[in-house]
Amino acid sequence: MTSIDYSHLFGLQGQRAMVIGAGSGIGRESALALAAHGAALVCADRDAATAEQTAADVRATGAEATSLRLDVTNQDDVAAAAAAYPDLAVLVFTAATNVRKRIADYSLDEFDRVVNLNLRSSFLLIQTFAPVMAANGGGSIIGFASIRAQVVEPGQGVYAASKAGLVQLIKTAAAEFGPQGVRVNAIAPGVVETPLTAQIKANPEWYGAYAQKSALGRWSRPEELAGGVVYLASRAASFVTGSTLMIDGGWTAIDGRYTPPA
């Protein structure tokens, strides 16, 4: 007979979680969801005001939350954050950027900007926080990749490459830190209504075309990603590491589909 209390499978009581990018979008909803399951939150963002607003919203629910201004491209900032929260059990990072241009039109400055935020900073976060978690006996690190790590389109080359690199980095981190109890996973969203996709939403034809690419026929909302974050952070995913959780409404399952006439 099992001794597991499945009613608390997703409980995060007594654990501290840091969400980077908590000021808006997926990061904000992830922070609220983790707090709702008992975690004490550190709401981190490059924008201190939005980070504090999310922390205030978490505290309004009765949960514990602090805010932190954090530039993930700055090595000193990341080191200071790890030193300030040595008891961190969950790390979620969502920060990303994109420059939609074809390869021939890209400047090296644009390349560096996308890769530095999407991949270099992810490397820095894992490199800094994973050993701290390992020293404490384990933890969960969750990075946000994208369907573009698997399927691409013109104008997405550098973004797609950075997200594919992140997936492989996460797999390697899972292998290296797994023996110390640190689980490292990725979430790969499809199209989500966030500030990063505002350019698409402003174009009805483009917006509608993307909606029809998923099996559900619509875009996702940021709060629809939060369940995956809670799952990967919790004991429900205690044997899950090195994986990529697709939350894309079926986009990659049916990409390129044709529905023949009846």
Active-site annotation holds for 159: yes
Q: Give residue 62's identity as a one-letter amino acid code.
A: G
Given the residues 159, 207, 231, 258, the one annotated as active site: 159
**Per-residue three-class SS string for the chain:** CCCCCHHHCCCCCCCEEEEECCCCHHHHHHHHHHHHCCCEEEEEECCHHHHHHHHHHHHHCCCCEEEEECCCCCHHHHHHHHHHCCCEEEEEECCCCCCCCCHHHCCHHHHHHHHHHHHHHHHHHHHHHHHHHHHCCCEEEEEECCHHHCCCCCCCHHHHHHHHHHHHHHHHHHHHHHHHCEEEEEEEECCECCHHHHHHHCCHHHHHHHHCCCCCCCCECCHHHHHHHHHHHCHHHCCCCCCEEEECCCHHHHCCCCCCCC
Query: Do strands 182-189 and 65-69 pair parallel, antiparallel, or not at all (unpaired)?
Result: unpaired
- Catalytic residue numbers, as ranges: 159
